Amino acid sequence: MADALHHPVLLGYKFFVIGHTNAVGGREYNLKLSQRRAEAIRAALINPFGVDPARLEAVGLGEEQLRDPLHPDSQINRRVQLINIGN
């Protein structure tokens, strides 16, 4: 991810770092967990990888957008996405 964010084509863009969880645990807990997950990845991209903090916003969605809705407790639902939101 860090290499891509330093690519000249992407240098002018901002990104959401979106954290997701599976459906294990309560909704409020999962929202907080996904936010912490997104913030951890954002922090890692900033230091040590040197991505400008102004280009990254951490957002936690909890279990709202499961990758595998047929298996809501699956670990595959625990993930982080990087979404380009433009300039």
Instruction: Determine the pLDDT at residue 62.
Output: 98
- Which residues face 81 on adjacent strands? 18
Write down all domains in the chain, each with its CATH number in brackets.
1-57 (3.30.1330.60)
Beta strands of the chain (E only): which ranges? 14-20, 56-60, 79-86
Report the distance separating Cα 65 and Cα 59, nearest Å.
13
Q: Is residue 43 very low, low, confident or very high in pLDDT (cuts 50, 70, 90)?
A: very high
What is residue 34's predicted lDDT score, i.e. its pLDDT?
A: 98
Structure confidence by residue, pLDDT tens digits, 17-42: 999 999 999 999 999 999 999 999 99
Rounded CA separation 67/32 (Å): 18
- Owner of token pair 């860090």: 2
